[in-house]
Structure 1
Amino acid sequence: MKNIIYKALIAILFLSGSTTAFGQSTTEKVPITGMVQDTEGEVLANASVAIYDEAEENILTGVVSNPDGNFTVEMEPGQYVIEVSFLAYNSYKSEIEVEPGQPLDLGTIELAAEQSELDEVVVEGQRSYMEMNFDSRSFNVQDDVTSLGGSALDVLDNVPSITTDFEGNVSLRGNQGVQILINGRPSNLVRNGTDALSSIPSSMIEEVKIITNPSARYSADGTGGIIDIILVDDAELGFNGSVRGNAGYPQDYGLGANLNYQRSKVNWFLNTQVEYESEPESGSTFQSFSGDTTYAYQELIDTDETEKEANINFGADIYLPADQLLTLSTRINLEDQTEDRNLNYTDYDPTNDEVYRDVFDNWGVVQRTTRDVLEEQRESDFDVRAQYEKTFKENNDHKLVADFDYEFGEEDGRTNFEQFVEQGTGNEVRQRTNAGEIYREARLDIDYEQPLGESAKMEAGLRFNYDWQDNDYTVEEFQNGNWVRTPENIGAADNFIYLENVNAAYAIFNGELKPFTYQLGIRAENTNIESELDQSGTTSSQSYTDFFPSVFLSYTINELNSLQASYSRRISRPWSGQLLPFTEIENERNREIGNPDLKPEFGNSFELGYLRYWETGSVLTSLYYRYRTQVIEDIETTEIIGGQSVNIEQPINLASEDAWGVEFSADQELFDGLQLSGSLNIYQSNREGQFQGVLYTSETETFSSRIRVRWQFLDSWNFQSYISFRGAQNTTQGRRAGRSFVGTGLSKELLDGKANVSINVRDLFNSRNSDREIIEPNYYRNSQYSWSSRAFRLNFRYNFGGE
């Protein structure tokens, strides 16, 4: 591993050594400035700016635009031709005159996406699937045929550097401490972990942005970095929109629409989606224990999960005088979910007092037990938002943005358990749980940007965030014809109230010292947390203030080669599901309990990147190192409850971690219409910590990789396919096996490009499974789970309207 990283570093240094010498002229020169963006207002970093002589026979000099799209080039007085170009965009060319002592500001230069003509049919050039900048990588997933009809989790599972698992956890470069944003802001869709991302249809997502080393502009939450999900915005003049539908196997149906109506100074928008999904899940567990007693058992799980969901997002963009924009919107999300699980336990009598890793044929069966679980859950979420933006006329980069968001909702769940002994001795058991949550969250962001001179900019902002939750939980058992509360060792009933208040302020300065550009930032966050268990009277509180600096330094070698070094300090606060001190009893042998005393993780991240462009592609090579403290990890222990051994899983602040690695991301057009992209992340992670007097350590070397091919052929056909790999990994208590899976899709445009029909297959070889081991001196457990079988989807979309 160290040799691989060392060789990669040598390669970067070798490539960076190919710089050309910079000469100096004693002749007085005049600065020429401008900013490059696309027709949608997005800045284009690393756009090439070339200055020709008046006859356009020779290139006299050239630069590239900085991360903010700005450029400056100095020329002696005279007549010239300037050309601005960027991959996959039409070039801009214009004659200019430079006069002595008079700086020339060309203002904003817009580049349009390339177009080509085939037999008089105009085909718009598509954006590259992967667009790379130093502070982020953007993946244009709106045309991702392989995830159509799915959810945001399906989309993320196709994006390089990101991995997901059957519990809904999302990791970035192997780190689960990730902050997920929706349109650049936090959302209640991910307030209780990431499983709720399944409620965002893939067709609503335009772009996924990965920020591995965020600046002070962003909330410091997330030691692993930021994943920003950008939703579709199809606003055009007049009435326009699209309708879509999908059907799949296993059962997967959806209908949705995006509607816009823009006239004069107001754009009305409406996005809605209804879905029905039912899919099977299955798993198995083998467990062996040898201590005061010796036992072994096998568990088989079959689950049918059914989900009904409806959401609507309605609002308006109001264009006010003096370059002001006010956006008002509201969102409603309703969800009804049912899980019908069947668990079958077989208890064995091992022949010897030792820990086993599999069942032997000569073992006797002590007991066979069936446990039926029916879980019903309803959830409703509401969001009201107002965003104000003021752009000052003298410069589009001079602006003020204020964003207020109020979110509220509730969740109710009921679970019934029935347990029967099929073979051996034992009593029938009937249990039930009731859980409820009410939450309120208010957030206000104020951001201000102002250019300072020709090549500098100042940014500053404030955030006020208030989060309140009220959770109820009861566990009952049917005894002697009555439902009664269970003892605490089975599941304590209580009411948990949680309050979190995070206020923040930040300042950033961007500057340029040719050929370097730099950014210095600092963010201060004050956190106050209070929690209380009503019935037990247990309270907890935390209050702390921390500072989070960020530093970025970029060196432009030439218009095709650049280097950047960056540093940031981050925090990962535990989410509410990790804090709830209630015991999940749906699985009699394995229980989960939260930890209200969890403290946040802290991380320091260093990164060195080399970005190389050429005519038909690009590659980004990144070396990174991350150090984390108070790392949160789920630890399993064994307890005897009611004469039976039960595994207890609880999150704790276990360890410190050193992690380092090298990542390659590349995008290459092989020939017209055929594009190949891929990524490879090789990293090592070392953890060490203690819990209850036991030392837990892990040293793992592993990798993750994705390869994607996109082929546009004939007039309107689009074929896409990908393969994803993730290597095996050691954990502090055992090992997680590697996995690979394949997805593919084919689409066809109809009705002069207004309609699109596609078919895709997820997990083509049915290999997207989880395989984990817990290996302890007196305890072994192997769990295998398949949470998404092979799935087929047929999708249709129709676009209409517009002027």
Structure 2
Amino acid sequence: MLLPFASLPLCGQSVAITGKVVEAVQNTPVEFATVLLTSLDNDASLGGTTTGPDGSFALEAPHSRVRIQITFIGFAPRTLANFEQEGGTIDLGVVQLAQDQQTLEEVVVRAEKSQTVFKLDKRVFNVGKDLSSTGASALEILNNVPSVNVNIEGEIALRGSTGVQILINGKPSVLASEQGNALGTLTADMIERIEVITNPSAKYDAEGTSGIINIVLKKEERDGINGSVTLNTGWPHNHSLGLSLNRRTEKFNLFSQLGAGYRELPNDVRSTNQDLRSGNSLLSEGEEFRNENFYNFILGADYHINEANVLTLSGNFAYEIEDQPSATAFEFRDAAGQLLSAWERTESTQATNPKWQYELQYKKDFEDDEEHMLLFSALGSFFGKSQSSVFDNNTTVGDTSYASQQTRTDFKEAEYTFKLDYTRPVSEQFTIETGAQYVATDVSNDFAVSNLQDGLWANDPNFTNVFEYGQQVLGLYGTGGYEGGKWGLKVGLRLESTILNTLLATTQTANEQRFLNLFPSAHTSFKVTPALSFQAGYSRRVFRPRLWDLNPFFNIRNNFSIRTGNPELQPEFTDSYEVSAIYLLGQASLNFSLYHRYTTDVVERVATVADNVQTTTPQNIGTNQSTGLEANFKYSPKAWLSLNGDLNYNYFSRKGQLEGTSFNFDADQWSAKVTAKLKGPANIDFEITGHYRSSFQTVQSIVEDQVFADMGLRKKVLNGRGVINLSVRDLFASRVQESTAEQATFNLYNRRFRGRFITLGFSYGFGKGEAMEFSGQKRF
């Protein structure tokens, strides 16, 4: 726990006092222990400090007649006096702190609140009792972390950007996979801390620019059988049942999770395509659904070979059955607004999505230092989709010739990740890391379109194709870090070799791209006082085009608004700079970050209109320079009230052109989120969150602002074993997505609206388990 003590100015013949604080049983360093200095003559305070990551401390006294008291949560305090000095220096050597069971109640009170602290290259959110005892899921805990937001589908955003890498204990895991429903089954009491890395070092995969979230689980053992069960219902239909079981012995930890449910995701859509050359306009409005039955099963085991070696094997299987009914009404009008024709297009889609993932991990700890370790992990995953759709067109006004259509999709994706990491503390201050990672992705998408002609289905060769995609990425890295009591520095370099192949089977059009790139990183931190710390970092990142960015096939769900890929798309590279500060002031904590990103070959979706058909394709368009300021705060003025807030302002400058059209412009965007939490009587907790995102400009469009609110209510029952949850997403049904594009030859308007989501859930923990929440993530 950090206390706001600052060293007092000293004068006269001063004495330097140094020492190192360790835990008495295992002799591990005690970080952030409080060291207080008082006078033996009159008990006057002479200053104080806190210990560094290695447990060491240093301060100055005006003379040697001083008393030193060392305290830390959960340990008996130590008081030292009557020192012998040598040459104006008092070296206390190693000071051991013993755990004190009698202070347990005090420990619970003092450690009740979660808090954020800075480490060398990351921000660490320590999960306190205020969250770990609530029965909340990992998704709810993430919603309490500054800069992080989780939406209704379990999609996680960092600083408003999606595509965040989610790790469990520093590595990919079936629990954090997009292909599973398991992250919501991690309960708060299992989580020790959450590490937010907005500017990752060379140790991590260079892919992505949104950052990394690492969920670190507690190491505590719970012998016996533990478990919990949860039941959810909601509107629109959202019903699920989840069961978690855990069996621990001296050598084994067996864990399993089961989940099943049904949910509906309605979506109201509206669009207008206006061709300015002819004046004709096409208006469409309708409702789309994605209804889904889902089943999920996780089984895994940790085998403790001995105290230094652990082997983990786990697997996850999920199965989804989709039904996507939709109906869209179209109107075609001339320049005067006269209705020329109208028709309704209905869709009936069925799909099955099998998914599985498996993981093998080996971890070796070395006896000389708890940070000295070797970690190997192998992760494999598969996602399949077998889908068929029928689109019927019914003319209501005028004469149209739009035939009914049907599509067939056979999609398969396999990905394999092998990772080796080695961490070696060379000394108490210096640590080196090195490792390698190999990721292989293999995708095949067999897509066919047929038109109804004279009562028979005829294949349309213009839209039918097999697209194959393969990517292999080999990465090697090394980092070196120094972390003293107040200052630290970490530098690293990553080398990545990428081979990307695409094949359009029907035309035998192949495309191969090879890249060899260096990704340097540098991070530093400085603790000015126990209450004020600074952090700065630089890293180089890459965004590699995904399958749907490259695949040139057309999606005909709305054949007047088509999205297609670009097999010639190049990766975009970003140089990311960031300076951050954290300040602890009484019951408040403040975080400030100033960041700058320079991106080349920026990927943007560009729309063209011909005959009122809008086609959107990703293109590489120039550069983007983005400078932003982010501020986060947490304030607890009362024991029953807690406030959290995030503010992000971003100014960007775009430079680029495509086919003679300039896309140069400067613009800005800002967003804010404020959460108020109230602890009421009868074990009732209330939470409400307000969101605002300003309008912003893209290369062609203006995206309108959004304002909305989410609400939650929780009550503990059955002596805390049970938890009743009520959550309302988009409380006022105000979260509307609107964009407008006004170009020289066309105007476009698009609107999407999901609406309000209400969920009521009950969770119950048995054995030594805690009540949990089961939640499902969507694949796409």
Taking structure 1 as the reference length, the TM-score comes to 0.84
Work out the CA distance in 2 between the residues paired with 1:776 and 1:142: 55
Work out the CA distance in 2 between the residues paired with 1:598 and 1:169: 26
Q: 540, 549, 567: which one pairs with 2:511?
A: 540
What is residue 12 of structure 1 aligned with on the other side? none
Which letter maps to 1:537?
A: Q
SS of residue matched to 2:664: strand
Work out the CA distance in 2 between the residues paired with 1:736 and 1:225: 24
Give the alignment's Cα RMSD to 1 decimal. Answer: 3.8
Segment of structure 1 superposing worse, 612-621 or 52-61:
52-61
Rate the CA distance shift 1:177–1:750 in 2: closer, same or farther, 3 A: closer
Q: 381, 386, 401: which one pairs with 1:407?
A: 381
User: Is the contact made by 2:54 and 2:485 (CA closer than 8 Å) also made in structure 1?
Assistant: no
| Counterparts of residues 360-509 of structure 1 (less than 5 Å) | 363-488=337-462, 491=463, 493-509=464-480
Q: 747, 752, 755: which one pairs with 1:780?
A: 747
Q: 239, 251, 272: which one pairs with 1:253?
A: 239
What is residue 308 of structure 1 aligned with on the other side? 293
Q: List alignment gaps of at least 5 residues for structure 2.
A: 770-780
- 2:591 equivalent to 1:620: yes
| Counterparts of residues 93-108 of structure 1 (less than 5 Å) | 93-95=77-79, 104-105=93-94
Work out the CA distance in 1 between the residues paired with 2:216 and 2:367: 27
Segment of structure 1 superposing worse, 70-79 or 565-574:
70-79
Q: What are the Cα deviations for residues 123-147 of structure 1, in whole angstroms up to 9, with x where unaligned?
A: 99644276665622538699889x9
| Counterparts of residues 227-238 of structure 1 (less than 5 Å) | 227-228=213-214, 236-238=222-224
Q: 734, 744, 759: which one pairs with 1:793?
A: 759
Work out the CA distance in 1 between the residues paired with 2:545 and 2:490: 30
SS of residue matched to 2:545: coil
What is residue 546 of structure 2 aligned with on the other side? 575
User: Is the contact made by 1:622 and 1:664 (CA closer than 8 Å) also made in structure 2?
Assistant: yes
- 2:307 equivalent to 1:333: no
User: Is the contact made by 1:256 and 1:271 (CA closer than 8 Å) also made in structure 2?
Assistant: yes
TM-fit CA distance, 1:240: 0.9
- 2:20 equivalent to 1:32: yes
SS of residue matched to 2:559: coil
TM-fit CA distance, 1:746: 1.5
Q: 621, 631, 634: which one pairs with 2:605?
A: 634
Rate the CA distance shift 1:55–1:263 in 2: closer, same or farther, 3 A: farther
Work out the CA distance in 2 between the residues paired with 1:52 and 1:402: 50
TM-fit CA distance, 1:300: 0.3
Q: 260, 264, 268: which one pairs with 1:274?
A: 260
TM-fit CA distance, 1:213: 0.9
Q: How many matched pairs? A: 750
What is residue 774 of structure 2 aligned with on the other side? none
TM-fit CA distance, 1:62: 4.0
Q: What are the Cα deviations for residues 337-374 of structure 1, in whole angstroms up to 9, with x where unaligned?
A: 211111111111122xxxxxxxxxxx211011111112
Q: What are the Cα deviations for residues 39-92 of structure 1, in whole angstroms up to 9, with x where unaligned?
A: xx9x997564446678994566644455x565444789999654344xxx5565
Which letter maps to 1:247?
A: T
Which letter maps to 2:93?
A: L
Work out the CA distance in 1 between the residues paired with 2:24 and 2:685: 31
Which letter maps to 1:684?
A: Y
- 2:281 equivalent to 1:299: no
Segment of structure 1 superposing worse, 313-322 or 586-595:
313-322
Rate the CA distance shift 1:477–1:528 in 2: closer, same or farther, 3 A: same
TM-fit CA distance, 1:740: 1.2
User: Is the contact made by 2:114 and 2:128 (CA closer than 8 Å) also made in structure 1?
Assistant: no
Rate the CA distance shift 1:123–1:151 in 2: closer, same or farther, 3 A: closer
Which letter maps to 1:415?
A: S
Work out the CA distance in 2 between the residues paired with 1:256 and 1:56: 62
- 2:200 equivalent to 1:214: yes
SS of residue matched to 1:366: strand
Taking structure 2 as the reference length, the TM-score comes to 0.87
Work out the CA distance in 1 between the residues paired with 2:153 and 2:340: 32
Work out the CA distance in 1 between the residues paired with 2:226 and 2:505: 53
Which letter maps to 2:380?
A: Y
Q: 314, 318, 326: which one pairs with 2:303?
A: 318
Work out the CA distance in 2 between the residues paired with 1:179 and 1:597: 26
TM-fit CA distance, 1:703: 0.9
Rate the CA distance shift 1:427–1:241 in 2: closer, same or farther, 3 A: same
Rate the CA distance shift 1:200–1:238 in 2: closer, same or farther, 3 A: closer
User: Is the contact made by 1:531 and 1:539 (CA closer than 8 Å) also made in structure 2?
Assistant: yes
What is the aligned-residue identity percentage? 25
TM-fit CA distance, 1:482: 2.4
Q: 189, 195, 204: which one pairs with 2:186?
A: 204
Which letter maps to 2:249?
A: R
What is residue 558 of structure 2 aligned with on the other side? 587
TM-fit CA distance, 1:658: 0.7
TM-fit CA distance, 1:115: 6.9
Q: 125, 131, 138: which one pairs with 1:138?
A: 125
TM-fit CA distance, 1:613: 1.1
User: Is the contact made by 2:311 and 2:362 (CA closer than 8 Å) also made in structure 1?
Assistant: yes
Rate the CA distance shift 1:157–1:319 in 2: closer, same or farther, 3 A: closer
Work out the CA distance in 2 between the residues paired with 1:705 and 1:551: 29
Rate the CA distance shift 1:49–1:102 in 2: closer, same or farther, 3 A: closer
SS of residue matched to 1:294: coil
User: Is the contact made by 2:273 and 2:614 (CA closer than 8 Å) also made in structure 1?
Assistant: no
Work out the CA distance in 1 between the residues paired with 2:395 and 2:722: 57
User: Is the contact made by 2:16 and 2:59 (CA closer than 8 Å) also made in structure 1?
Assistant: no
Rate the CA distance shift 1:732–1:230 in 2: closer, same or farther, 3 A: farther
Rate the CA distance shift 1:526–1:21 in 2: closer, same or farther, 3 A: farther
Which letter maps to 1:799?
A: G
TM-fit CA distance, 1:251: 1.0
Work out the CA distance in 2 between the residues paired with 1:595 and 1:603: 21
Rate the CA distance shift 1:96–1:476 in 2: closer, same or farther, 3 A: farther
Which letter maps to 2:576?
A: S
TM-fit CA distance, 1:294: 2.3
Which letter maps to 1:506?
A: Y
- 2:679 equivalent to 1:696: no
SS of residue matched to 1:577: helix
What is residue 759 of structure 1 aligned with on the other side? 726
Work out the CA distance in 2 between the residues paired with 1:331 and 1:648: 38
